[in-house]
């Protein structure tokens, strides 16, 4: 009987621990098909994103994958790819050339090390990223969603001054942009 009780406690606590990542996922799915304008909150001095229109488009929401193209002006080369794996979310950066072929620097990112919060998920750089871009081995990305208000994408390179943050206004949906490259 005691073991049955412990098993029930374990099952119940396991289902609770997955809830924040699922709630975050559900918030993303509510944005599917919609596009929003962004603004730079923080960026390195040499960052060209300050000078162009920034747009995110939650273009595709599949069962275990959400694709969010991120456009900087006419540059449609970037897509954030979020994947749900074992109740944890993985973030990858898919970079393409105009002909659709993969850039040499693509598919970097990381997987949430825990279930995060319902409105915040963090993604420390994975081994693939560290091998592809050694300087990015200490990268941590995080996405924050204030439902109905804002979506904020962030990058911090630990041990450096590199910090990047863009907030998208979820209160004002904009016209759907063309497909990414």
Q: DSSP of 116-161, one letter per residue?
A: -BTTEEEEE--HHHHHH-GGGGGEEEEEEEETTTEEEEEEEETTSS
CA-to-CA distance for 19 and 33, rounded, in angstroms?
Answer: 24
* Mean pLDDT within 71-87: 96
Which letter does DSSP use for residue 12 in this model? H
The span from the CA of 141 to the CA of 134, in Å, is 16
Structure confidence by residue, pLDDT tens digits, 131-162: 999 999 999 999 999 999 999 999 999 999 99
Q: Where is mean pLDDT largest: 5-9, 10-14, 42-46, 144-148? A: 144-148
pTM (2 d.p.)? 0.89
- 2.40.128, 3.30.70, 1.10.150, 1.10.132: CATH of 20-174: 2.40.128
């Amino acid at each position: 009987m005691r073991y049955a009780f412990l098993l029930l406690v374990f099952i119940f606590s396991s289902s609770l621990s997955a809830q924040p990542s699922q709630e975050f996922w559900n918030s993303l799915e509510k944005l599917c098909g919609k596009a929003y304008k962004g603004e730079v909150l923080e960026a390195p001095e040499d960052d060209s994103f300050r000078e162009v229109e920034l747009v995110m488009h939650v273009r595709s929401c599949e069962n275990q994958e959400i694709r969010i193209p991120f456009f900087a002006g006419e540059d449609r080369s970037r897509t954030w790819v979020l994947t749900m794996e074992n109740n944890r979310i993985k973030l990858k950066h898919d970079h393409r050339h105009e002909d659709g072929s993969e850039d040499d620097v693509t598919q970097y990112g990381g997987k949430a090390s825990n279930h995060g919060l319902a409105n915040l998920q963090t993604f420390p750089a994975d081994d693939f990223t560290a091998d592809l871009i050694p300087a990015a081995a200490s990268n941590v990305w995080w996405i924050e969603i204030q439902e109905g208000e804002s979506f904020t994408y962030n990058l911090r390179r630990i041990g450096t001054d590199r910090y990047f943050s863009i907030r998208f206004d979820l209160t004002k949906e904009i016209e759907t942009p063309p497909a990414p490259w």
